[in-house]
Amino acid sequence: MARGGRSGRAAGAALALLLVAGAPGRGYESDQYTHRLEPIGDAQPVLDRAVNEALARVAERQRGGEDRLAFAYGVWGELGGLHWVDRIERFAMRSGEVEKLPQKRWQSVYKGAPVWATRVNFFFGVGRTIRLAGTLVGSDKLGHFFSQGLKYYRSHQAGWSEERVAGRGRFNERWIFGQATTSIYSNADLVANWEGYRFYRSLFEDGIVPGKGPIVRFEAGRARIERPFTWSDHVNDFWDEALNPSFMSPALARYLTEHLPGLCEDFRRAPATFVPAGEQELRRRYAEIGLRENLGFRMDRVCAERYAPGAAPGAAPEPGRAAGSSGRPGNP
């Protein structure tokens, strides 16, 4: 067993080094656990503006009649692109108008975790966290929305069923964009992907956003913007990885099981900020997209014993186990 463990760690390190050699530095995952109570402004006005300006540029260039896929690719070219970090994400990370939580690689929930637990995150650190439409989200979710959302939409246009489209996202989260490289199968990534898919459909279809018509109409060979885009049509608390915790590999799960209770003081100060709004509706909405629930790593579960009615002051969950979990790392 020890030999196999060392082999697995070596393989994980080799994979991470391979990716480091071939990719620019960036945060592959994000952290909405630490510094959660820090007050930061909502980036929605800035990022709404950025998207609407991009849509206007694409509409101005569009020629040759109604070509939905060409328009969608135009949007992706403006806001996504062939980069490890999408244009909209890079803008959010660099813009002085977009406030971020004061966390970096050495200040994140993954601080101190060994390389075989965090894999590529050990080298690249974590992405920045912003507030968007009232929700804390990792900047990487902007890229998921536009780039992975386009892949979903392209498959939809090719005639795929929504079940098959969602399956593509599940596959990606298990492999190159997820657990195989980062130790994390991100439920929040899947939600952002799916909402990106809904966005591309909402460009042209009525009712994709309830009560709203399409964003774009085609007339006389030209595209015309009918209504503005807003992130609040798509962002919700399931974009937040502390409210919709990721499923993770056993080594990382063991590490977080030991360290998350250290954040229970923040939970005590503001418990409502650690529980998703409209949880049951969100579970219903995303029931078919492949979420792998891991509620044992949500802070209301982690801290349940510590702050349960009648608990002794300062009482802590059983060492080595997140309260509310089954004790099986990665599986609540």
Q: What is the pTM of this model?
A: 0.80
How many structural domains is the chain composed of? Answer: 1
User: How far apart (Å, rounded) are the C-alpha atoms in residues 158 and 140?
Assistant: 27
Rounded alpha-carbon distances, angstroms, from residue 33 to 123, 162, 204: 20, 32, 37
For residue 131, tell me if it sits in a domain.
Answer: yes
For residue 250, tell me if it sits in a domain.
Answer: yes
For residue 141, tell me if it sits in a domain.
Answer: yes
Residue 304: which pLDDT band, with cuts at 50, 70 and 90?
Answer: confident
For residue 330, tell me if it sits in a domain.
Answer: no
For residue 312, tell me if it sits in a domain.
Answer: no
Give me the DSSP letters along 161-191.
-HHHHHHHHHHHHHTTTTHHHHSEE-HHHHH
Rounded alpha-carbon distances, angstroms, from residue 18 to 114, 119, 120, 135, 320: 18, 11, 9, 34, 32
The answer to whether residues 259 and 109 touch, using CB atoms and an 8 Å cutoff, is: yes
For residue 327, tell me if it sits in a domain.
Answer: no
For residue 206, tell me if it sits in a domain.
Answer: yes
pLDDT at 121 over 80: no
pLDDT at 234 over 50: yes
Answer with the residue of higher pLDDT: 15 or 42: 42
For residue 310, tell me if it sits in a domain.
Answer: no
Residue 149: which pLDDT band, with cuts at 50, 70 and 90?
Answer: very high
Q: Would you state the structure tokens that stand for residue 122, as one six-digit string?
A: 């050990």
Domain span including residue 8: 2-302
Residue 242: which pLDDT band, with cuts at 50, 70 and 90?
Answer: very high
